[in-house]
């Protein structure tokens, strides 16, 4: 059974441990007010609840959440897992979440290629795969990193990762091949993306500038103020922190304390990366 978790913005997130536990979906006819079938539309029905989650064009090619998660699992099975004990139960190798009434899915997979940026700074690449059943986007793959010292999820700014999309018209066999190509492309570029982290380790930011920088990138005031205050405490009388240290404070807060749906989580991750990982002017 999935674990159901209330989050911010009146959202509900269902957490699953295995792709086979995900619900299946079907395309069913849409009827007009007089009972006539509307040929131009189809409804996406969640089979376990028999509820309609969206109405789409008749040309829409349905690729269900379970099929996408199974494809990710098959690709992931061929990749080296993280070292035993590297990840905690709070941050497992794989996590699956449904949200927006089951219309959207996020699956995360941590990959077993360990990268070391310096003493005590070990990272694993992570993959985030998104699927929607309402036509709002196609299948997407993007990347993040897991910092082992504190199990933070660290998101690299958009210019340093692959964000891939494919239309919902591909059959499952093609989807598997496309996901495999996208994931291997991301892994091939992951080391280059880490240059952003390395640079941030050697650049400093005034602790008092952290909150304004976060606000300027759209982070809500309550979150920006909390992160800024924590960076200030760490900086103490020195007043400066490295951008890397400030970014860790921010990602620790987002990862451990904030409870929002995955879309909002991604928005905040990107805003924090823009604010704190940029080169000094």
Which DSSP symbol is given to 10? T
The three-state secondary structure class of 157 is coil
Q: Under 8 Å CB-to-CB from 52, ≥6 apart: which residues?
A: 28, 43, 44, 45, 46
How many CA within 13 A on the CB side of residue 20?
Answer: 1
107-149 pLDDT, tens digit per residue, is 988 887 788 877 777 788 888 888 888 877 778 888 888 877 6
Check residue 124 and give left, alpha or beta (phi > 0: left; psi -120 to 50: alpha).
Answer: beta
How far is residue 214's CA from residue 231's CA, in Å, rounded to a whole number? 12
pLDDT digits (tens, 9 = 90+) for 33-44: 888 898 889 999
What pLDDT, on a 0 to 100 scale, did the predictor assign at position 96?
93
Q: Are 109 and 94 in contact (CB under 8 A)?
A: yes
pLDDT at 169 over 50: no
Residue 150, pLDDT score: 65
CB 17 within 8 A of CB 63: no
With cut-offs at 50, 70 and 90, classify the pLDDT of residue 9: very low
CA pair distance 224, 276, nearest whole angstrom? 12
What percent of the chain stands above pLDDT 70?
A: 85
- Phi, psi angle pair for 123, to nearest 5°: -130, 150
Neighbours of 131 (CB within 10 A): 25
Name the residue among 91, 146, 105, 131 with its Cα closest to residue 22: 105
- Condensed to tens digits (0 to 9), the pLDDT of residues 201-253 reads 889 999 999 999 999 999 999 999 999 999 999 888 788 888 988 998 998 88
In the 8-state DSSP scheme, what is residue 58?
T
Could you tell me which residue, 68 or 82, shows the higher pLDDT? 68
Domain limits, the chain: 3-18+61-196, 202-276
With beta carbons less than 8 A apart as the criterion, state whether 164 and 140 touch.
yes
Residue 173: pLDDT band (50, 70, 90) is low
- State how far the Cα of 273 lies from the Cα of 52, in Å rounded to an integer: 37
């Amino acid at each position: 059974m999935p674990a159901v978790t209330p989050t911010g913005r009146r959202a509900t997130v269902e957490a699953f441990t295995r792709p086979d536990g995900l619900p299946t979906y079907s395309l069913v006819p849409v009827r007009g007010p007089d009972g006539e079938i509307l040929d131009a539309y189809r409804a996406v029905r969640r089979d376990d609840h028999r509820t309609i989650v969206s109405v789409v064009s008749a040309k829409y090619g349905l690729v269900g959440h379970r099929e996408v998660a199974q494809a990710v699992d098959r690709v992931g099975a061929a990749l080296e897992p993280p070292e035993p004990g590297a990840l905690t139960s709070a941050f497992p190798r794989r996590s699956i979440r449904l949200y927006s009434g089951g219309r959207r899915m996020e699956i995360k997979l941590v990959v077993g290629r360990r990268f070391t940026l310096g003493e005590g700074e070990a990272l694993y690449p992570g993959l985030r795969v998104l699927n929607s059943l309402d036509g709002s986007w196609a299948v997407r793959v993007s990347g993040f990193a897991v910092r082992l010292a504190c199990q933070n999820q660290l998101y690299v700014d958009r210019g340093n990762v692959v964000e891939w999309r494919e239309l919902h018209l591909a059959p499952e066999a093609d989807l598997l091949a496309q996901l495999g190509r996208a994931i291997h492309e991301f892994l091939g570029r992951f080391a280059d993306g880490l240059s952003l982290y390395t640079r941030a380790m050697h650049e400093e930011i005034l602790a008092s500038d952290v909150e304004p920088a976060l606000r300027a990138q759209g982070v809500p005031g309550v979150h920006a103020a909390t992160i800024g205050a924590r960076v200030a405490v760490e900086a103490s009388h020195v007043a400066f922190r490295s951008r890397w240290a400030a970014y860790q404070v921010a990602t620790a807060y987002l990862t451990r304390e904030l409870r929002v749906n995955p879309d909002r989580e991604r928005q905040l991750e990107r805003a924090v990366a823009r604010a704190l990982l940029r080169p000094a002017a």
